[in-house]
Amino acid sequence: MSKNLIEVEGLKKYFNVGGGNVLKAVNDISFSIAEGETLGLVGESGCGKSTAGRTILRLYEPTAGSVKFNGTDISKLPPKKMKAMRRDMQMIFQDPYASLNPRFTVTDIIGEALDIHNMAGTRAERKKRVEELLDMVGLNPDHATRYPHEFSGGQRQRIGIARALAVNPKFIICDEPISALDVSIQAQVVNLLKDLQDRLGLTYLFIAHDLSMVKHISDRVAVMYLGRIVELAESEELYANPMHPYTKTLLSAIPIPDPEVEANKKRILLEDDANGPIQSAKDGASSGGAFDLENSELVEVSKGHWVSMPKK
Ligand SMILES: Nc1ncnc2c1ncn2[C@@H]1O[C@H](COP(=O)(O)OP(=O)(O)O)[C@@H](O)[C@H]1O
Ligand SMILES: [Mg+2]
């Protein structure tokens, strides 16, 4: 693998949720992403994936920790330098409709991204660039004057992708880009993202709530649970040899069409009673074991395969 483009070290994002309570949405995560690599970040809804993504891009100020982009610690950059850095780091969102201004034409939506970074040039150049981007994401350049509601969900997500690509980023956080789409078009969007990665040399953090969605695009996968990473490994290794009980739970939730396989699947959650590990970890009542994350650390069990284990 080539050098690391992204290095996240001890990143935390806490939210004050009133009454003196603090929600540790991201609680000390560390990982790196090599240039041209896709790291999948998976975990159930509410585990802190989007907060992690936003904190990495410094859309949220981190509570602690650092993020290095190409060797530069962006967590300490002053606003002006941060703005310049943002060009290299873009985000694609889950809901392509909510993230596209309904009163803007496609030209305005994509052009706005260019304007922010003074990359639009003349009117003619701006138009040409928008058309080029639409073509790149598989949309008809003649539709540049249309509004978001005139497109299907998959097409809208392509507009979101074109907008992210407009400023020639190196790194894109794809935050559940296919979760809101029909199953029939999910693969098309994943394939588009893969093609674009190959053509443009992009690096991705690909967020999803289920492992089946990241399988085909990720080189490595990090599994997140309650604000922490509980397992990280190369995709093949993670699917073949999941070690953390939570990863096994996530894997068992993937629908497998073969009825025989389905019948044999272990449903880890159901094996335990109501006081099982996940339950008690959420209640904060657990002590010891794989879900006592407070007293656990990531251990490299085989080359590049990290698993959260109780501290010795
Ligand atoms: N701006 C915020 N203020 C307070 N709590 C937040 C904020 N954003 C997210 N959270 C909380 O942080 C936790 C993680 O949320 P999120 O990162 O959106 O999870 P995910 O993307 O994995 O579904 C959730 O409990 C959520 O309610
Ligand atoms: Mg999210």
Say if residue 256 is exposed, middle or buried (CB neighbours under 10 Å; 0-12, 13-18, 19+): middle
The confidence band for 234, taking pLDDT boundaries of 50, 70 and 90, is very high
pLDDT tens-place string over residues 140-175: 999 999 999 999 999 999 999 999 999 999 999 999
User: Could you identify the atom of ligand 1 that is nearest to the CA of residue 17?
Assistant: 4
pLDDT tens digits for range 183-201: 889 999 999 999 999 999 9
Host H or E run for residue 134: helix 123-136
Amino acid identity of residue 189, one-letter, is V
Mean per-residue pLDDT for 13-23? 93
Atom of ligand 1 nearest to the CA of 207: 21
- Separation CA 98–CA 111 (nearest Å): 18
Position 277 confidence tier, pLDDT thresholds 50, 70, 90: very low
- Over residues 216-242, the mean pLDDT reads 96
Report the distance separating Cα 238 and Cα 251, nearest Å: 10
Q: Model confidence over 62-73: pLDDT tens digits?
A: 999 999 999 999
- Cα distance between residue 289 and residue 170, in whole Å: 40
- For the cut 60, the answer to whether the pLDDT of residue 76 exceeds it is yes
Residue 282 Cβ inside 6 Å of ligand 1? The answer reads no
What integer pLDDT is reported at residue 1 of this predicted model?
55
Pocket flag, ligand 1, residue 15 (CB < 6 Å): yes
pLDDT at 280: 37
Instruction: Over range 16-39, report the average pLDDT.
Output: 96
Q: What is the mean pLDDT of residues 292-312?
A: 93
Q: Which ligand 1 atom is the nearest neighbour of the CA of 43?
A: 22
pLDDT score at 308: 96
Q: Which ligand is nearest to the CA of 44?
A: 1
Encode pLDDT of 100-132 as tens digits. 999 999 999 999 999 998 898 899 999 999 999
Mean pLDDT of 203-210: 95
Give percent of the chain above pLDDT 90.
73
* Strand spans (E) along the chain: 4-16, 22-34, 38-42, 64-69, 72-73, 89-92, 171-175, 203-208, 220-225, 228-234, 296-302, 305-310
Mutate to test the pocket of ligand 1, among 16, 23, 173 (most ligand atoms within 8 A of CB): 23
Q: What's the whole-number average pLDDT of the chain?
A: 88
- Which is more confident, 7 or 98? 7
Residue 33 pLDDT: 98
Least confident range from 176-185, 203-212, 265-274: namely 265-274
Residue 114 CB contacts under 8 Å (≥ 6 apart), including other chains? 120, 126, 129, 130, 166, 167
According to DSSP, the residues that pair with 220 across neighbouring strands are 39, 234
Within 10 angstroms of residue 178's Cβ, the number of other Cβ atoms is 25
CA of 22 to the centre of ligand 2 (A): 19
Q: Please report, for residues 39, 70, 218, the alpha-carbon distance to residue 2 in angstroms, rounded to integers and kept in the order given.
A: 14, 12, 16
Between helix 153-165 and helix 183-200 the angle, nearest 10°, is 20
